[in-house]
Amino acid sequence: MLVLFETAAGYAIFKVLDESKLQKVDSLYKEFETPEKANKVVKLKHFEKFQDTTEALAAATALVEGKIGKSLKKVLKKVVAKEAHEQLAISDAKLGGVIKEKLDLSCVHSPAVAELMRCIRNQMESLITGLPAREISAMSLGLAHSLSRYKLKFSPDKVDTMIVQAISLLDDLDKELNNYIMRCREWYGWHFPELGKVITDNLAYCKTVRKIGARTNVATSDLSDILPEEIEAEVKLAAEISMGTEVSEEDIGNIMHLCDQVIEITEYRAQLYDYLKNRMMAIAPNLTVMVGELVGARLISHAGSLLNLAKHPASTVQILGAEKALFRALKTRKDTPKYGLIYHASLVGQTTAKNKGKISRMLAAKAALAIRYDALGEDTNAEMGVENRAKLEARLRQLEDKGIRRISGTGKAMAKADKYQHKSEVKVYDPSGDSTIPSTSKKRKFEEVEEEAEEPVTPAVKSKKAKKEAATEVEEEAETAATEETPKKKKKKKDKKAEVVEEEEPKAEEEEMAATETTEKKKKKKKKKVKEEQEEDDE
């Protein structure tokens, strides 16, 4: 077995003399306690020294990336290819796969090989002859410095610091611009207050002030390159009837200088935004497609770097920026926030308030994948981000249209959603409440009152004969009704129900007839009594 060992000074190839000792991994270090013992286990076969630090750096970077450098390829063809039947022990499994693919050499990587490499490193000075210890240490130090400088130069962590600084500067510029514009409007408003109401755009306002200076110059100045014709006419009309105070030329000069500052900062802000957009598309293209340049840059700035952001789970990405609200909710035992900086993403902004929480959760999950792909992946395209954004937009349309599919009992077939029909109760306008005139006439009311008065009041005390006659009449009517009720049996239940209804109807009619007859008889008896009393009085 041959062993490939990489050092800062060059490549060393050892031949294993006693392979049986490699099987005892735990006690292998005892065989390398002294240089004499180590020489009994392995023996140096070939050593390829690097000419300078540049060659060493190229070889080291190739090994880090899992590639075969020129010097390594030369050594393997020169030494190992002659003994193709021998196995080559290596420290990196990825490099072994590349060597086997390109040079067709069988490579071995195991815990025993890793322990052997560790033991060789301890006795490297005695095993590699002809190389002084001072030279090895100097080469190691030089290679370490060169490799660190190379990693810092091409590290994505250091590149995204530009994004962090750019987004911070952009926020600072926005704050300063707001302060400057507010001061400019307030300052020039003393001289020409109507201009602030006519021109709402801040940049156009500052450009107009810069061009006209004092309001007396409005009539002679041409503002067509700054303002539309309608607004220009309004400005000229307002200048003629302005209520502002007169100011000196020195005051106007200072105001115009402030307007110059606002215009310059606005132009620089637009330039900085373009720089930030290009930087984000170069470093985190998938994240930029998912949430936009500004939100993506703020997420990176909040986490510190793209690599730190890639270590966060999706739930943390979702509420990143709302830490104060989160801890307040946990302290008061209330609902935690649903979104943080991700709320300003376009996908969350275009949803209804009901679905903002769902979309922000799904967007955070996909954004976390995009961040990891950008930070740790080798590709620099935005295909994954475009694909995931399309899925989220489709899901958003589904939620907005209320087209949520229901899972049926089988779990495979989807139940058809019924058509939605809007049912609304249409209330008809009641015109009776419009007029204050009563609906019923006075004559009709008088007639109703007379009818109520004519109704006879039954006396509390009745004669025994009348009571007996009434009781006998009610009993006779009940007997006749019982004899008339002859229920007929039929087979079907529907016919029986119909017969019961038909029998109940004549009962009700007979009871009403009986009640009317009793009332008529009572009236006749009362009339007879009244006549008899009148005749007795006459006598």
Alpha helices in 333-463 (DSSP H): 346-349, 356-376, 383-400, 442-454
pTM listed for this prediction:
0.52
Q: What CA–CA distance (Å, rounded) separates 287 from 369?
A: 9
The CATH number of domain 284-401 is 1.10.246.90? yes
Mean pLDDT of the chain: 79
Least confident of 14-28, 40-54, 141-155, 357-371: 141-155
* pLDDT score, position 175: 95
Q: Is pLDDT of 459 > 50?
A: no
- We find that the CATH architecture of domain 2-152 is 2-Layer Sandwich (3.30)
pLDDT at residue 491, rounded to an integer: 44
CA 137-142-143 angle, to 5 degrees, is: 95
Nearby residues of 387 by Cβ (< 8 Å), 6 or more positions away: none
**Ranges 25-34, 94-103, 340-349, most confident:** 340-349
The pLDDT of residue 84 is above 70? no
pLDDT in tens, 318-327: 999 999 999 9
Could you report the per-residue pLDDT of 139-174, keeping only the tens digit for each?
888 888 888 877 666 555 457 888 999 999 999 999
Phi, psi torsion values for 414, nearest 5 degrees: -100, 130
Pick the CATH number of 159-273 from 4.10.80.400, 3.40.640.10, 1.10.287.4070, 1.10.357.10: 1.10.287.4070
User: Kindly report the CA angle at 515 between 509 and 516, in degrees rounded to 5?
Assistant: 90
Segments making up each domain of the chain, as ranges: 2-152, 159-273, 284-401
| Range in 126-135, 193-202, 207-216, 392-401 with the lowest mean pLDDT | 126-135
Does position 415 have pLDDT exceeding 60, yes or no?
no
Given a cut of 60, whether residue 488 has pLDDT beyond it is no
CA distances from 414 to 141, 405, 406, 408, 409 (A): 67, 7, 6, 6, 9
- Residue 302 confidence (pLDDT) above 90: yes
